[in-house]
Every structure is written in structure tokens, then in C-alpha cells.
Structure 1
Amino acid sequence: MAMAAGAALMVLGVATPNLSSSADAAERARNPQQQRAAAAKPQHPGAARSQRGTASYYAQRFNGRRMANGKRFDARSNSAAHRTLPLGTTARVTNVENGRSVEVKVEDRGPYARNRVIDLSPRTAQELGMKEQGTAQVVVTPVQVPDQDERYAQR
């Protein structure tokens, strides 16, 4: 019956309000926590929040090999490999054990070793104080994620 009334009103040119969306809007207005959660969502699908896990670093034999972005890997660079962050992302990597942190640029895919979240260049590993151990517990926080146009321009 309600559908027939709504259809009749539409035929007459009278718009019926969308009650479900206005109810949702009213609920969001009453719940500031939902507003903050919506505002805190990353603006880019690849812009993940901080990730905690084990970092490792590239072996010396990878120096000069091509990375996912087409450039050659330089062991003295701040290049990093991450599975999901968009290529070109700048991220802050913090060693949980000693508090040291560095900024890296995601230019490759990986790591392919199990239970690793990021692979770093040997230089970056040295700066984080993890080179002798080979791995370290880190927090990876995206700082700047390129938009889609920037990512395609890098190729």
C-alpha cells in the first residue's frame, strides 16, 4: 500500500523523502564518534594505517637488479619493498627496539619471506641499527601516498 502511495505521488510530481538516508544522517549527527571515524579513514585506498611486524633487508646480490617500478636497486638508497603500499609511497619505519626511525620510499614489491612486512636497503637497515641482527620489529607508517596520476607518471 505504501509503495502504491509513493508511486502515485511520483506520478503527480511530488517527491517522497528517502527516509532511510535521512535516518542515517540523523544517527551520524547524534554520534560524533562515527563522524571522527569517517574523517579518520585514509583518503587513498592504498593508504593504510601503521603496520607492525618484522623488517628485513635486501641481500647485496640484489644491488643493480630492476625493482617493480622499473628502476635499478641501489643498496645505498632509501628504497623499500612492501606488499600493498602503492609504489612511490613515502613511509616512516621505526625500529621498536631502539626507537630509531627513517623515511623510505616504496619502490619494489615484497618481501617474499614469511612473516615480514617490509624489506629495506642495507643503508636503511644500518641507520635503523638492525643490520647485524638481520631483522627487527618495526612500525611502518605511510607519510605520503601518491595519487594514481603520480604513480603512473613514475613509470
Structure 2
Amino acid sequence: MKRLFGACALLALVGLLPGCASDGIIDPHGYDKTGSASYYGARHQGKRTASGERFNKNSLTAAHRQLPFGTRVKITNLNNDKSCVVRINDRGPHTRGRLIDVSHAAAERLGMLRSGTAKVRVQALDD
């Protein structure tokens, strides 16, 4: 039984088993939430994301717990009204109370490099 659970968990992590991997995934249509954002440090550069692609700190990407991979979202920093559009390609954030983790490039556009975190609005875009 432990082996079966372990295999399911491993396959879910790499997105190969839709039954396990899709648990908790939500419909992005109309998604509009406010919360805290942080950004990935340089130590993640080149590591695989949950979607299987390599993390690039210079790309406009983000990690979200429930939005499907490939979802484009507009993120607005509520402290300075700066915004950018990113693509969800990873799962996270793994810190309690955070809504989204963004790449270094996105954090720079949002004006949150110095603070490390910001209160943001996240809105899914309909393509």
C-alpha cells in the first residue's frame, strides 16, 4: 500500500497522473484574489518546476497552488499600482499565508525586489 501511495504521489508531482495531480486545481475563469506575494531567489535558477520546465528567473512566470499550468494572470502590486502579466508554471508558494510566488523578473516589474513581499491582486486573464 505504501508503494502504491508513493507512486501516486511521485506521478502527481510530475503531472503524469491526472486523477491525483488534478486534485485541488480550479477553473481560472473569473479568478480574482488579493493576498501576499513573494518571489523566487536565484538559488532556484535552472531547477525543474512542477510543470516540468526549468525555472528561469528572467521569465515572467509564477507559482500558484491551484491555478492550472499555462494560466496567464495579471498581478498588481497594491502598494504602488505596478502590474505585469505572468504565466503559471509551478506549484507554491510553500509559505503559509502567501497567495503567489513570482519570478525575479516579475518582482522587478512589480517593484517588490527590495521588500521581498507585497500585497497583490491576482486576476486570471481569458485568452
Superposed CA deviations along residues 68-105 of structure 1, whole A, max 9, x for unmatched, are 11110000000100001111000000000100100000
TM-score, normalised to structure 1's length?
0.63
Q: Tell me the TM-score normalized by structure 2.
A: 0.77
Structure 2 residue aligned with 1:115: 97
The higher radius of gyration belongs to: 1
- Tell me if 1:93 matches 2:71: no
Correspondence list, 1:20-35, <5 A: none
Percent identity of paired positions between Structure 1 and Structure 2: 43
Task: Tell me which of 32, 48, 53 is aligned to 1:66.
Answer: 48
Is contact 1:47-1:85 (8 Å) kept? no
- Residue 50 of structure 1 aligns with an amino acid whose one-letter code is D
Supply the distance in 1 between the matched residues of 2:116 and 2:80 (Cα, whole angstroms): 15
5 Å-filtered alignment, 1:1-155, equals 45-144=27-126
| Higher helix proportion (structure 1 or 2) | 1
1:100 counterpart letter in structure 2: K
The total of aligned residue pairs comes to 102
Structure 2: stretches of 5+ with no match in the other structure: 1-25
Structure 1 portions without partners, runs of 5+: 1-43, 146-155
Higher strand share: 2
Shift of 1:49: 2.1
